Amino acid sequence: MAKNSSSETLVPATVWLARGRHTGHEPEQDVRRNLIALKAAGVLDDFLDLDPVEAARSTVLHPREAAADPGPSARRLFEARWRVADDVTVRAQLTTYDPENRRKDGEGVVWVLAAEAERAWDPHWPSPATMFWPDSEQVPWDHDTVPGVRLREVNHLPKEGDEIRHRLRDCVRGSWYVHLVVHEAMTPDARGMRPLSAFLPPSLRHRVVEHRATPEQAQTADFEMKRELNVRMPRGGAVVLPAAVRGTEYEAERFTVRTVFLDGSEPTEVLRTLLEFAALPRPLPEDAERALARLRQGWHLLTPEEELVHAQAMVVRYAEALDAMTKSCDLYKEAAEAARAALADFTGGEGAPRPPVTGEAGADRSPMDTLARTFGRFRLPKK
């Protein structure tokens, strides 16, 4: 279960974040095929497919911060760049990871996606998820890290009250997504079974998970939600669950919809409520903070202009490093010469110690005092 950052860092308005699991056999191959197809179609400006170890090494050479290291369990690092609204550039990184428990069947490969635009994110822009993953129901990339929960389909709540409580708790504490719980006043037909998130703008569509409670679960689900999260689920309505760290702007009544018609029509009030909730400031989870740092500090897919600026900065840094090394070398050389002079003074220049000096002069200037005073004049810079 992911831990939330103890700091009060909020998700920047320019950032889009997601984390999930791919339960298929070749997740990286699915990403490559999609990236190649979108670049050929002119949707992407460019993309990179990187080995995490080599990416970390080149990041250090560039140089960037240590936060750009994707970690030892990383399998592959992908970068893509595209434009929205004609001239707004979006940069995104997707990293795939080995599951924490490799013995568990069906756990799949965990992935983390961080994207950032040059201005505040517009929910009507294309979803960064579909820039890397194929928008096909046959590719199982859209599983949440919470077991049994999926993005692009309706997720029915478990039957037992304890299981409902555990499911909701895990979703609130361990998921990066917005969670909507809808109560079916009556069993819907095929049109009503369509996920309400399908009506959302593209960039919000892959940030919302929809849960459904059956008609007979009205009291049980409402009781468990009240007990665990202090929110209520109205009969035939819906409620957006709060984040793990509930902000001052969250009010259960404000994000509750009293009536939802599951007849295939556009749920206007639900969409408005989800858009309003998604626009709230939200805490940046610890894992997301690292992903965002990696995106900003460990970016490799540079434009020609960025390559030139980067090369110029590298020249300056190398010049500064060479100057510092030269100064250090001069200081060491000066110290060595002083040491030789002190040794010659101590030995009389003939390889044997000079006779001790008697009297007041000898008391003031012993051989060891001479060496100490000589070396004391040199203070080498700290590394």
**With 90 as the cut, is the pLDDT of residue 362 above it?**
no
Higher-confidence residue of 131 and 107: namely 131
**With 80 as the cut, is the pLDDT of residue 290 above it?**
yes
Judge whether 206 and 18 are in contact, CB under 8 Å.
yes
Judge whether 124 and 201 are in contact, CB under 8 Å.
yes
Give 317's pLDDT tier (boundaries 50, 70, 90). confident
Handedness of CA 50, 52, 55, 57 (dihedral sign): negative
Judge whether 290 and 67 are in contact, CB under 8 Å.
yes
Closest alpha carbon to 276 in 180, 149, 183:
180
Per residue in 213-257, pLDDT (tens digit) is 999 999 999 999 999 999 999 999 999 999 876 656 788 899 999
Question: HSE-up of 361 (CA within 13 Å, CB side)?
Answer: 3
**With 50 as the cut, is the pLDDT of residue 383 above it?**
no
Give 89's pLDDT tier (boundaries 50, 70, 90). very high
| 256-257 sheet: strands from edge to edge | 154-156, 208-213, 178-183, 238-240, 256-257
Q: What is the pLDDT of residue 55?
A: 72
Handedness of CA 44, 49, 52, 56 (dihedral sign): negative
Higher-confidence residue of 54 and 151: namely 151
Q: What is the pLDDT of residue 207?
A: 96
- Tokens 């510092």 found at: 324
Q: CA 98 to CA 107: how far, in whole Å?
A: 10
pLDDT > 70: what percent of the chain?
Answer: 79
25-34, 148-157, 242-251, 344-353 — which is least confidently predicted? 344-353
DSSP string across 94-127: EEEE--S-TTSTT--EEEEEEEEESS---TTSPP
Higher-confidence residue of 151 and 375: namely 151
**With 90 as the cut, is the pLDDT of residue 68 above it?**
no
CB count, 10 Å around CB of 93?
29
**With 60 as the cut, is the pLDDT of residue 61 above it?**
no
Q: Under 8 Å CB-to-CB from 244, ≥6 apart: which residues?
A: 4, 172, 173, 283
Q: What is the pLDDT of residue 9?
A: 87
Closest alpha carbon to 202 in 152, 250, 241:
152
Give 58's pLDDT tier (boundaries 50, 70, 90). low
CA dihedral 254, 259, 261, 262 (to 10 degrees): 70
Q: What is the pLDDT of residue 282?
A: 87
Helix, strand, coil percent values for the chain (each to nearest 5): 40, 20, 45
- Tokens 């939200």 found at: 282
Higher-confidence residue of 63 and 313: namely 313
For the chain, what are the domain ranges? Answer: 15-297, 304-376
Q: CA 378 to CA 376: how far, in whole Å?
A: 5
Q: CA 91 to CA 46: how far, in whole Å?
A: 10
Q: Hey, what are 96's tokens? A: 């795939």
293 exposure class (CB count in 10 Å sphere: 0-12, 13-18, 19+): middle
Give 172's pLDDT tier (boundaries 50, 70, 90). very high
> What rounded mean pLDDT belongs to the chain?
85
Q: What is the SS3 assignment for 224?
A: helix
Q: What is the SS3 assignment for 130?
A: helix
Judge whether 107 and 310 are in contact, CB under 8 Å.
no
Find the mean pLDDT for residues 340-367: 61
Q: What is the pLDDT of residue 345?
A: 75
Q: What is the pLDDT of residue 355?
A: 55
Q: What is the pLDDT of residue 316?
A: 76
Find the mean pLDDT for residues 195-210: 95
pTM of the model: 0.78
Q: What is the pLDDT of residue 309?
A: 66
Closest alpha carbon to 86 in 132, 117, 114, 113:
117
Per residue in 319-333, pLDDT (tens digit) is 777 778 887 887 888
Please report which residue ranges of 265-303 form alpha helices under DSSP H.
Answer: 268-278, 286-297
